[in-house]
Chains A and B, each alone.
Chain A
């Protein structure tokens, strides 16, 4: 009896210890011929990447690809946790917003030699995109999967009902025009538009415009600031504060006036209740500034919506837009550098197109069936999405000085932005002198 009890106890201890050790062990160990690839996105994004990788798998039957869906890529913190736990996949999809932080920390391997071996040159890619990824030494630590462009998406039925001509596809209109249209397209429950003296801002049923400034999101306000001749951080290394320049303040005031003076734009409160882009998809908003993912969302959620797109308008400084790049990168600590680099290069070149709904940056694939000529694309897609990449004022949200997290957070301009979009302060009151008081000390501290 006692022996039995002891046997049970020893067995329980053994099982408990085994479970404990099993729980502690890293879960990412794979055999030598398996390449681990970290990917992210919605289901259709995941499927599109897997589909694109089939060509590589067929050409390399001895290599098994194991896709791991998670946050590592868009969220650098998630990658750091995997690296510290020695469980980092061999390949990942970084974003232009965190690419240089990964380069600085030595997370990404230099792909320049692999490109040379594959006979691929930077001239094969969209210049603005590839230049944004080059370090000051001209090296490439990642290759573009594709990019997003901010454009104006508009409801054609609403424009017709208001008797307005549709926005020119090439962006040959101004932010003043946009503001006028936004007021005319904003309607209250009695059908009065925002220009009418009888307009009731407490009872709006249709809004004219949506910009992600309501979310304090850079792809929302960034293009407007650039078109007005301003910006948050400017210069080649994006380490010169411009957020309180007269041009930036004018742009911020323009965005605030759309929300709180004209009442023609989605406010942060309305955004919180239901995101503005979904309101546009549902037909509650006439225009929105967004990227190509809107095309997929409309196809999935409201295929009956009649819409088109146009390049963003011109401000006092000219036309500007913002690009976001998704980047194939190879983990520098991977013990499968060669095959991982070959995979990343393949996905950015031969296998490019139709990945995550992005505009391919390789050769002229964007103009073909992989993007512009794909079924369901709006007629203005080339003028609105592809051509603006070559505008002189177009920017990419890369962060070569690794300042953005601090500058855009609570220690930087986040409180000022909250004041602006909540209408607590004017743009001048919120941002005036902020470079000297808050941003420059952050920049100086980073350079010490």
Chain B
């Protein structure tokens, strides 16, 4: 193999692209053939719907008419005029505040409790992981019964301690918290598994050294464990918030009185999320604006919201996430250079 043909795109001395050898061409073709199904799938099922949904957001179409009608920015302006948009965003944010926080916290607790090898630890881990493999609809239906405010085990359990039980799913103040508790319960196993993998990467030598230096368990956790598992925490924060922004199934399963998606989101609109409202506008409601166009505009609003939140997380992540073995970030390098200059000046 000549030096000129060793890299794709490199030009030869006379300015022409180098000719590929028959072997290299065959290898490239083979690679293309193997990669093509995935690329085609991604284009067909991700890129095309993505672009198409953006296009639909400038149209009105009820899926029945032969073709969509172009309405320009009407759907986008309607987003700002629709008073329900603020409500569904706030409901979704409420879920993030309760659901994501409790998921991150309790997953970490579960990981710390089951990290150390002990008797039956595998059983505990399996038991905690089991809900994660269940259908969200099935889990929602079961927990709806668990939260039954007259005969539900949760209600009866709370009342055993002499505490008056809230109305859980029937009270606007507690309905979203109840849903967040259920999604946390179901997701703990997944978070725990990732946390355990991260905890396995914490060097024992560091922990031992800290012990010798007299650091207690809390100090060791804050100063050694948490920084070293921060990439996993960051990953879980980002992915769980993205998942929370798409909350739908548990709300439908736990709040619709007669299994009708159109009536889900109660009590008093307190659990109607962005995706549920998008579904309502797509399939349930018969308003002037209802249809795939307005639903697509809501979907894109959600996508932009997700992008913005994720971007903020990545910006914050630079400050708080520690990647072992990687070069420090530009900001850290700048800070270090400034500090060195000051020292030199001094």
- A-to-B contact residues, CB < 8 Å: 2, 5-6, 9-10, 12-13, 16-17, 20, 24, 76-77, 80-81, 83-84, 101, 105-107, 215-217, 267-270, 272-273, 402-403, 405-406, 408-411, 414-415, 418-419, 422, 424, 442, 445-446, 448
Contacts and interface: CB of A to CB of B under 8 A. Distances in A.
B40 interface: yes
Contacts of B29: 6, 9
A446 B288 contact: yes
B37 A17 contact: yes
Contacts of A216: 257-258, 263
Given A414-B263, A418-B266, A9 B288 contact: no
A217 B150 contact: no
Contacts of B41: 20
Interface of B: 23, 26, 29-30, 33-34, 36-37, 40-41, 44, 62-65, 84, 144-145, 148-152, 167, 170, 257-258, 262-269, 272, 280, 282-288
Given A12-B34, A77-B283, A422-B170, A410 B64 contact: no
Nearest to A411: B84
B148 to A, nearest CB: 5
A13 B267 CA distance: 52
14 contacts: A6-B33, A9-B29, A13-B34, A13-B37, A20-B37, A20-B41, A77-B284, A80-B283, A217-B257, A405-B284, A409-B285, A410-B264, A410-B272, A442-B287
B144 A408 contact: no
A6 B267 contact: no
The 8 lowest CB-CB distance pairs between A and B, nearest first, are A77-B283, A269-B150, A16-B37, A415-B268, A9-B33, A84-B63, A105-B64, A13-B33
B30 A5 contact: yes
Given A17-B40, A101-B286, A448-B288, A268 B64 contact: no
Given A20-B37, A269-B149, A410-B265, 9 more contacts: A16-B36, A24-B44, A270-B151, A405-B285, A418-B267, A418-B268, A419-B268, A424-B170, A445-B287
A106 B144 contact: no
A105 B62 contact: yes
A344 B227 CA distance: 70
Contacts of B63: 80-81, 83-84
A272 B257 CA distance: 9
B90 to A, nearest CB: 14
Contact of B286 (A217, A268, A406, A414): A406
A403 B264 CA distance: 17
Contacts of B272: 410
Nearest to B151: A273
B64 A418 contact: no
A217 B258 contact: yes
Given A9-B34, A269-B148, A273-B151, A446 B64 contact: no
Nearest to A202: B150
A448 B286 CA distance: 13
Given A403-B286, A415-B267, A422-B167, A215 B280 contact: no
A2 B64 contact: no
Given A101-B286, A418-B268, A405 B151 contact: no
